[in-house]
Structure 1
């Protein structure tokens, strides 16, 4: 049991965190929507926070109420020793229940996409349409983040408190400046706004996957054309679990496809959700 400050829409109060995880979120009321317009739940990826899908939120918020959420062990959400997809899915279901949202369009990037897919196993009736951005429902055996973990731990071990110094140290390990700038957004007053020790310890669960029951509703997989995360060899895995799945490839983009080609991603999302 622990105590955490919970930030909800127009609220800020102390909550006792016991068996039910209360996630930090922001609820953005739709600028123009009909009663039939469903809300959109946006879920970030590993090392991220609720601001990471902001480019999608700003556009979708014109017609939809948007809920941006910090997953457990990320952002301002509580910390926990467990980092599994069933646990993350239960957190999301608890949030939907608290907000009295009976049905939503759920969009997740990377780890957030897996959390969204896991939600179909425990609350299939609450999801109208599902969008998974550059991720597949498979067990990834390649450890793609070990250098990142090394760089993050080096900053922690050095006792650095300034972002500029942290970024400089990370450049001795990481070559991609875009990745460094993404990570440094979560560095505040000498600490990371994600639970680094747990993410390292639970990494096998994060890249792993347990199949979910077939979810027979519209599902869109958006893939970065230069990204290795959604491969042709995963077609059977996707079809088995999401038989109504379709794919959209954004040419010339990598894993952070929504940041690199936001217009293309939004066009695909709008075409998909406007079919309903």
Structure 2
């Protein structure tokens, strides 16, 4: 296994003193993390988002295991020779890869925020993801995205359609096939940094809820969780204002607590 260099886009002042890395989910792109990038830049951060291997403009490879995704992230460091991110935000697959990267490379980041993370996928969740990706590839148009998500911001509709056209379908399919035991619970339990989970609302659809969420929270007292009411698997697209408000709250509270 070898790392690849991930292309990135950025928000905020290049020399900002606080630096964040944004990691998207399966079938997505760096650009679709724009809500977090804009909010962090408004708050004085520099935020860099990457295209994961096989997605967007990132290199195509043969290995789409979660450890391979994580290895790429460990090698994606802040500019100007800085060795540590102040914050990494990972959504879904990006959350799993972020957790594995942070557990395997202490000092890579000072804290993480995981957005409805794919910590452990049940067979049901795998089937939901498979159908969702098939639909995205079958009709990668803005009209199809708008029909499925009429309340999304126009940027999200445009970028989600573009992401399906840019991603390698083979890479997305292999990400499921090459990870038959999709499970990074042990990595989360080992994390010795602050971990905040912004979970989707189970009454809509979430891949991090119920017994799984209870188990993960019990495994590590540095892990906290909040549910974004009314949001599905992509809270930053379903309930963007509420999601950003929760992000700002957890960042502020951890800072107040002296962590």
> Aligning the two structures, in what range does the TM-score lie when normalised by the shorter sequence?
0.7 to 0.9
Which has the higher Rg, Structure 1 or Structure 2? 1
Higher helix fraction: Structure 1 or Structure 2? 2
> Could you tell me how far 1:229 is from its partner in structure 2?
1.1
Gaps of 5+ in 1: 1-17, 156-162
In structure 2, C-alpha distance between the alignment counterparts of 1:186 and 1:176, rounded to whole Å: 15
Query: For residue 209 of structure 2, what is the aligned residue in structure 1?
Result: 231
1:64-213 alignment, distance < 5 Å: 64-96=45-77, 100-104=81-85, 105-142=87-124, 143-151=127-135, 154=138, 176-177=148-149, 181=157, 183-186=160-163, 192-204=165-177, 205=179, 208-210=182-184, 211-212=186-187
Query: How many corresponding residue pairs?
Result: 240
Q: CA RMSD in A?
A: 3.0
In structure 2, C-alpha distance between the alignment counterparts of 1:126 and 1:107, rounded to whole Å: 13
Structure 1 length-normalised TM: 0.76
In structure 2, C-alpha distance between the alignment counterparts of 1:206 and 1:266, rounded to whole Å: 33
4+ runs of 1 displaced by more than 4 Å? 152-155, 177-183
What secondary structure sits across from 2:13 in the alignment? coil
Structure 2 length-normalised TM: 0.80
Query: For residue 23 of structure 2, what is the aligned residue in structure 1?
Result: 43
Higher strand fraction: Structure 1 or Structure 2? 1
Gaps of 5+ in 2: none
Q: Say if 1:32 and 1:64, in contact at 8 Å, map to a contact too.
A: no
Query: For residue 23 of structure 1, what is the aligned residue in structure 2?
Result: 6
Cα 1:121–1:232 shift into 2, 3 Å: same
> Could you tell me how far 1:183 is from its partner in structure 2?
4.2
Query: For residue 256 of structure 1, what is the aligned residue in structure 2?
Result: 234
In structure 2, C-alpha distance between the alignment counterparts of 1:266 and 1:151, rounded to whole Å: 28
Q: Say if 1:136 and 1:238, in contact at 8 Å, map to a contact too.
A: no
